[in-house]
């Protein structure tokens, strides 16, 4: 949620930012919000004057009674003032809610280096890491390799849960656990506090991290309760600080969490196809930073660097693809994906996503800190996927396959697996 003071003082900057995101229909929101904010401040001023007048009249009544004077007219005024204040409060409350909704719909100010573009087709490739492998035999996709080796059972998952789920068996299930352990150890080794959060959160937390449209499309609601299955552990990690006033000495807060994640993915491309790339349930290690505004971009670079280092150690070909203005959701000031090479399609597909929301998310959740000068300010929040194991498994299976269908285990995972190779024709 954007700052009302910033909108009030910089309307043209806000409108230009909306244009850069190709959301011209929202330009009128800026003037509407400013007009409502002016009315709200006017009502607030009137009520402040009325309260001052009420205090004055109370004193006048007291003095008049002491002198034995008639106080009927003063009492009448004293009675009318609370009614006037209540009416103004009702109007102000309605305006405040409308202003908040308008501020939520106005996109966050994007970072100066964000490439301008309408869609993900105009995202910018910043770096390519590693070379795609060359094969001298007909290659298979991860589904064929998983079924060949008896590791993937989509018939069982379809019977159990329907489309968009999977059953892992044997060495592939163990490789999944190896990835979880590797990502956990990698992140804690970088000084991030390990957390295991609940897998359900309340609606007030979810509304502070996602838009209504995102909630409707992505979230699984627990029937009869004010609870949703989490789509990422970022949400409970940030939600732990909802409404909190932090001390500048405690910042930055660096957290990492493993969790299962659940996403409805309504209407998403490929969700009804079997495979591990896009599913309703998956395992993910997340990283989150809560920091002072002046440190925001330093930690954005750190999170992105950590992702690259983690996948470099897995020896997988990846690239950094920065999101253009039109591909950023409204809360994001900047974001980028790491993408992994898929040898059959000869394309790169997303595996991680880093985001800096500056203070937009903190405003929604009410997360502040007291700085060294005793001023209260909103924190900045950042998040990044350390690893989504199902997508990493796709990358390992497809890029590390051998002629007999066996899979070479990345060196960094071998201590967790106790093996250098898994699978292959028996």
**Residue 391 in this model has a pLDDT that exceeds 80:** yes
Percent of the chain with pLDDT over 90: 80
Mean pLDDT, the chain, as a whole number? 92
Angstrom distance (rounded) from CA 219 to CA 215: 5
Residue 73's pLDDT band (boundaries 50, 70, 90)? confident
Domain range 4-105, its CATH number among 1.10.287.40, 3.40.50.720, 1.10.10.10, 3.20.20.70: 1.10.287.40
Report pLDDT for 317. 97
Report pLDDT for 407. 97
Residue 52's pLDDT band (boundaries 50, 70, 90)? confident
Report pLDDT for 272. 58
Report pLDDT for 265. 79
Mean pLDDT of the region 405-411: 97
Report pLDDT for 271. 60
Distance of CA 207 to the CA centre of its chain: 11
Sheet holding 380-388, edge to edge: 124-129, 318-322, 334-342, 347-356, 380-388, 281-291, 253-262, 193-195
DSSP 336: E
Q: Please list, in sequence order, all residues whose beta carbon lies within 8 angstroms of the beta carbon of residue 20, skipping any fewer than 6 positions away.
A: 110, 116, 325
* Helix H or strand E segment including 20: helix 11-20
HSE (side-chain half, CA atoms, 13 Å) at 161: 15
**Residue 354 in this model has a pLDDT that exceeds 60:** yes
Angstrom distance (rounded) from CA 159 to CA 183: 31
pLDDT digits (tens, 9 = 90+) for 89-141: 899 999 999 999 999 999 999 999 999 999 999 999 999 999 999 999 999 99
Mean pLDDT of the region 200-225: 89
**Residue 69 in this model has a pLDDT that exceeds 80:** no
Mean pLDDT of the region 390-418: 96
Residue of 260, 270, 241 whose CA lies nearest to 368: 241
User: Which homologous superfamily is 120-422 in?
Assistant: Bira Bifunctional Protein; Domain 2 (3.30.930.10)
Mean pLDDT of the region 291-320: 97
pLDDT digits (tens, 9 = 90+) for 225-237: 999 999 999 999 9
DSSP H helices, 264-412, are: 296-313, 360-365, 389-399
Which tokens belong to 7? 């909108």
pLDDT digits (tens, 9 = 90+) for 75-91: 777 778 888 888 888 99
CA dihedral sign of residues 299, 303, 309, 310: positive
Report pLDDT for 66. 75
Backbone angles phi, psi at 394, to 5 degrees: -60, -45
Mean pLDDT of the region 268-285: 80
Q: SS3 for 21?
A: coil
- Give domain limits for the chain: 4-105, 120-422
Report pLDDT for 326. 95
Q: SS3 for 352?
A: strand
| Contact (Cβ atoms closer than 8 angstroms) between residue 257 and residue 286 | yes
Assess whether the region 4-105 and the region 120-422 belong to the same CATH fold: no
Mean pLDDT of the region 174-195: 97
């Amino acid at each position: 949620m954007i700052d009302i003071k910033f909108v009030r003082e910089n309307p043209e900057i806000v409108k230009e930012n909306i244009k850069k995101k190709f959301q011209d229909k929202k330009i009128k929101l800026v003037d509407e919000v400013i007009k409502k904010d002016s009315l709200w401040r006017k009502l607030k001023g009137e009520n402040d004057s009325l309260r001052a007048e009420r205090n004055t009249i109370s004193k006048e009544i007291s003095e008049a009674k002491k002198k034995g004077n008639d106080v009927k007219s003063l009492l009448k005024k004293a009675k009318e003032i609370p009614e006037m204040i209540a009416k103004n409060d009702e109007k102000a409350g309605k305006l405040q809610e409308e202003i908040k909704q308008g501020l939520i719909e106005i996109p966050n100010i994007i970072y100066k280096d964000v490439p301008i573009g309408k869609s993900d087709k105009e995202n910018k490739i910043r770096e390519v890491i590693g070379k795609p492998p060359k094969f001298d035999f007909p290659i298979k996709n991860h589904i064929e390799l998983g079924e060949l080796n008896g590791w993937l059972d989509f018939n069982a998952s379809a019977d159990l849960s329907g489309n968009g789920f999977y059953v892992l068996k044997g060495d592939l299930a163990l490789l999944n656990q190896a990835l979880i352990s590797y990502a956990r150890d990698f992140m804690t080794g970088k000084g991030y506090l390990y957390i295991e959060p609940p897998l359900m959160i309340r609606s007030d937390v979810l509304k502070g991290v996602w838009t209504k449209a995102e909630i409707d499309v992505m979230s699984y609601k627990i029937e009869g309760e004010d609870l949703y299955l989490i789509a990422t552990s970022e949400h409970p990690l940030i939600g732990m600080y909802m409404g909190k006033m932090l001390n500048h000495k405690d910042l930055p807060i660096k957290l990492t969490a493993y969790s299962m994640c659940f996403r409805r993915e309504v209407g998403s491309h490929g969700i009804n196809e079997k495979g591990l790339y896009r599913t309703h349930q998956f395992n993910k290690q997340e990283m989150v930073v809560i920091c002072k505004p002046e440190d925001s971009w330093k930690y954005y670079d750190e999170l992105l660097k950590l992702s690259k280092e983690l996948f470099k150690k897995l020896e997988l070909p990846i690239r950094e693809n920065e999101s253009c203005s039109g591909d950023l959701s409204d809360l994001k000031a900047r974001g980028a994906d790491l993408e992994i090479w898929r040898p059959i399609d000869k394309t790169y597909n997303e595996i991680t996503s880093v985001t800096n929301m500056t203070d937009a998310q903190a405003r929604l959740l009410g997360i502040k800190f007291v700085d060294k000068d005793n001023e209260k300010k909103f924190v900045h929040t950042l998040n990044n996927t350390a690893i989504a194991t199902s997508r990493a498994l796709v990358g390992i299976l497809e890029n590390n396959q051998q002629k007999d269908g066996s899979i070479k285990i990345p060196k960094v995972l071998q201590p967790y697996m106790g093996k250098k190779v898994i699978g292959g024709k028996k």
